[in-house]
Structure 1
Amino acid sequence: MGVKLEVFRMVLYLSFPVAMFWVSNQAEYFEEYVIKRKREIFPPENEFQRKELEAFKERMRKKREERLLLQEAEE
Protein backbone atom coordinates (compact mmCIF):
# COMPACT_ATOMS: atom_id res chain seq x y z
CA MET A 1 0.00 0.00 0.00
CA GLY A 2 2.95 2.34 0.60
CA VAL A 3 3.96 2.75 -3.07
CA LYS A 4 0.39 3.28 -4.27
CA LEU A 5 -0.19 5.89 -1.58
CA GLU A 6 3.00 7.75 -2.50
CA VAL A 7 2.10 7.71 -6.20
CA PHE A 8 -1.37 9.04 -5.38
CA ARG A 9 0.10 11.81 -3.21
CA MET A 10 2.61 12.75 -5.90
CA VAL A 11 -0.12 12.93 -8.56
CA LEU A 12 -2.25 15.04 -6.22
CA TYR A 13 0.62 17.37 -5.34
CA LEU A 14 1.50 17.89 -8.99
CA SER A 15 -2.01 18.10 -10.44
CA PHE A 16 -3.35 20.73 -8.05
CA PRO A 17 -0.85 23.51 -8.96
CA VAL A 18 -1.09 22.65 -12.66
CA ALA A 19 -4.88 22.76 -12.53
CA MET A 20 -4.88 26.09 -10.66
CA PHE A 21 -2.42 27.54 -13.16
CA TRP A 22 -4.58 26.38 -16.06
CA VAL A 23 -7.80 27.75 -14.55
CA SER A 24 -6.33 31.11 -13.58
CA ASN A 25 -4.83 31.65 -17.05
CA GLN A 26 -8.07 31.28 -18.93
CA ALA A 27 -8.78 34.40 -20.98
CA GLU A 28 -12.37 34.68 -19.75
CA TYR A 29 -11.26 34.57 -16.12
CA PHE A 30 -8.56 37.17 -16.76
CA GLU A 31 -10.93 39.54 -18.53
CA GLU A 32 -13.74 39.13 -16.05
CA TYR A 33 -11.86 39.47 -12.79
CA VAL A 34 -8.48 41.11 -13.34
CA ILE A 35 -9.20 43.70 -16.03
CA LYS A 36 -12.54 44.78 -14.55
CA ARG A 37 -11.01 45.09 -11.08
CA LYS A 38 -8.12 47.15 -12.43
CA ARG A 39 -10.56 49.51 -14.16
CA GLU A 40 -12.50 49.91 -10.90
CA ILE A 41 -9.35 50.82 -8.98
CA PHE A 42 -7.71 52.93 -11.70
CA PRO A 43 -10.45 54.39 -13.89
CA PRO A 44 -9.40 55.81 -17.25
CA GLU A 45 -8.45 59.47 -17.11
CA ASN A 46 -10.74 62.07 -18.52
CA GLU A 47 -9.70 65.46 -19.85
CA PHE A 48 -11.03 67.42 -16.87
CA GLN A 49 -9.02 65.39 -14.35
CA ARG A 50 -5.84 65.78 -16.38
CA LYS A 51 -6.27 69.57 -16.64
CA GLU A 52 -7.03 69.82 -12.94
CA LEU A 53 -3.88 67.86 -12.11
CA GLU A 54 -1.77 70.07 -14.39
CA ALA A 55 -3.18 73.22 -12.74
CA PHE A 56 -2.41 71.82 -9.29
CA LYS A 57 1.17 71.01 -10.32
CA GLU A 58 1.59 74.54 -11.65
CA ARG A 59 0.26 76.10 -8.42
CA MET A 60 2.62 73.96 -6.34
CA ARG A 61 5.59 74.90 -8.56
CA LYS A 62 4.81 78.61 -8.21
CA LYS A 63 4.41 78.32 -4.45
CA ARG A 64 7.75 76.51 -4.16
CA GLU A 65 9.48 79.15 -6.31
CA GLU A 66 8.04 81.96 -4.19
CA ARG A 67 9.19 80.25 -1.00
CA LEU A 68 12.70 79.83 -2.42
CA LEU A 69 12.82 83.48 -3.47
CA LEU A 70 11.76 84.58 0.02
CA GLN A 71 14.47 82.41 1.58
CA GLU A 72 17.10 83.87 -0.74
CA ALA A 73 15.95 87.42 0.04
CA GLU A 74 16.23 86.78 3.78
CA GLU A 75 19.82 85.58 3.46
Structure 2
Amino acid sequence: MGVKLEVFRMLLYLSFPVTMFWVSNQAAYFEEHVVRRKREIFPPDDAERRREMREFKERLRKMHEEKVLRASRD
Protein backbone atom coordinates (compact mmCIF):
# COMPACT_ATOMS: atom_id res chain seq x y z
CA MET A 1 0.00 0.00 0.00
CA GLY A 2 2.83 2.41 0.80
CA VAL A 3 4.48 2.35 -2.63
CA LYS A 4 1.17 2.72 -4.48
CA LEU A 5 0.20 5.65 -2.28
CA GLU A 6 3.54 7.36 -2.86
CA VAL A 7 3.26 6.85 -6.63
CA PHE A 8 -0.26 8.31 -6.57
CA ARG A 9 0.90 11.30 -4.53
CA MET A 10 3.86 11.90 -6.84
CA LEU A 11 1.59 11.78 -9.90
CA LEU A 12 -0.79 14.19 -8.23
CA TYR A 13 2.01 16.58 -7.25
CA LEU A 14 3.50 16.55 -10.76
CA SER A 15 0.25 16.61 -12.72
CA PHE A 16 -0.99 19.88 -11.23
CA PRO A 17 1.91 22.15 -12.33
CA VAL A 18 2.22 20.38 -15.69
CA THR A 19 -1.51 20.80 -16.32
CA MET A 20 -1.44 24.47 -15.30
CA PHE A 21 1.54 25.08 -17.59
CA TRP A 22 -0.22 23.34 -20.47
CA VAL A 23 -3.48 25.28 -19.96
CA SER A 24 -1.80 28.66 -19.61
CA ASN A 25 0.24 28.16 -22.79
CA GLN A 26 -2.69 27.41 -25.05
CA ALA A 27 -2.83 29.79 -28.01
CA ALA A 28 -6.57 30.37 -27.60
CA TYR A 29 -6.11 31.36 -23.95
CA PHE A 30 -3.26 33.70 -24.88
CA GLU A 31 -5.26 35.36 -27.66
CA GLU A 32 -8.38 35.66 -25.57
CA HIS A 33 -6.89 37.16 -22.43
CA VAL A 34 -3.44 38.58 -22.99
CA VAL A 35 -3.78 40.10 -26.45
CA ARG A 36 -7.24 41.50 -25.71
CA ARG A 37 -5.96 43.12 -22.50
CA LYS A 38 -2.96 44.59 -24.34
CA ARG A 39 -5.29 46.13 -26.92
CA GLU A 40 -7.37 47.67 -24.12
CA ILE A 41 -4.30 49.25 -22.53
CA PHE A 42 -2.60 50.25 -25.80
CA PRO A 43 -5.35 50.84 -28.38
CA PRO A 44 -4.43 50.95 -32.06
CA ASP A 45 -3.17 54.30 -33.30
CA ASP A 46 -5.60 56.55 -35.16
CA ALA A 47 -5.67 60.14 -36.38
CA GLU A 48 -7.94 61.39 -33.57
CA ARG A 49 -5.66 60.05 -30.84
CA ARG A 50 -2.58 61.53 -32.51
CA ARG A 51 -4.30 64.94 -32.74
CA GLU A 52 -5.32 64.81 -29.07
CA MET A 53 -1.77 63.85 -28.09
CA ARG A 54 -0.30 66.76 -30.08
CA GLU A 55 -2.72 69.19 -28.41
CA PHE A 56 -1.88 67.79 -24.98
CA LYS A 57 1.87 68.11 -25.61
CA GLU A 58 1.37 71.67 -26.80
CA ARG A 59 -0.56 72.58 -23.64
CA LEU A 60 2.15 71.04 -21.46
CA ARG A 61 4.86 72.91 -23.37
CA LYS A 62 3.01 76.22 -22.91
CA MET A 63 2.46 75.57 -19.22
CA HIS A 64 6.15 74.80 -18.78
CA GLU A 65 7.19 77.95 -20.65
CA GLU A 66 4.87 80.09 -18.51
CA LYS A 67 6.26 78.52 -15.36
CA VAL A 68 9.83 79.22 -16.47
CA LEU A 69 8.95 82.84 -17.35
CA ARG A 70 7.30 83.40 -13.96
CA ALA A 71 10.32 81.90 -12.20
CA SER A 72 12.72 84.09 -14.16
CA ARG A 73 10.76 87.26 -13.26
CA ASP A 74 10.88 86.57 -9.54
Q: Which category of TM-score, normalised to the shorter sequence, fits these structures?
A: 0.7 to 0.9
Q: TM-score, normalised by structure 2?
A: 0.81
Equivalent in the alignment of 2:39: 39
Distance 1:24 1:59 in 2: 44
* Paired-residue identity, %: 66
Equivalent in the alignment of 1:56: 56
Unaligned runs of 5+ in 2: none
In the alignment of these two chains, the number of paired residues is 74
Amino acid at match of 2:32: E
Q: Which runs of 4+ in 1 moved over 4 A?
A: none
SS in 1 for 2:45: coil
> How far did 1:36 drift?
2.0
Amino acid at match of 1:55: E
Distance 1:27 1:62 in 2: 47
Aligned pair in 2 of structure 1 residues 6, 39: CA closer, same or farther (>3 Å)? same
- TM-align CA RMSD: 1.6
Distance 2:46 2:32 in 1: 23
Unaligned runs of 5+ in 1: none
